[in-house]
Amino acid sequence: MVLPDASRLLIDRIVLAVRAGDDSGIRRLLAQLVLLADVSVLLHLRQRLYESVPA
């Protein structure tokens, strides 16, 4: 899936914030994602979050 660099970077930052448990950072980043997101971006975010869950 080819995503714009801005979307990919934002998803990376969201995944890092989730791993760190940074609730306020997650809210701030999701507010930014709303401006960029389409279905493919949301599906990519979901996949990245699933991949980051510890086994």
**pLDDT tens sequence across 2-48:** 899 999 999 999 999 999 999 999 999 999 999 989 999 999 999 99
For residues 30 and 37, what is the distance between their CA atoms, to the nearest angstrom? 10
The pLDDT, as a whole number, for residue 29 is 98
pTM, to two decimals:
0.90
**Which range of residues forms the domain containing residue 14?**
5-51
The pLDDT, as a whole number, for residue 2 is 85
For residues 5 and 41, what is the distance between their CA atoms, to the nearest angstrom? 11
Confidence of residue 53 (pLDDT cuts 50, 70, 90): confident
* Res. 55: pLDDT tops 80: no
Cα-trace Rg, the chain: 11
Amino acid (1-letter code) at residue 22: D
What DSSP character marks residue 52? Answer: T
Split into its structural domains, the chain has a count of 1
Amino acid (1-letter code) at residue 13: R
> How far, in whole angstroms, is CA 18 from its chain's centroid?
9
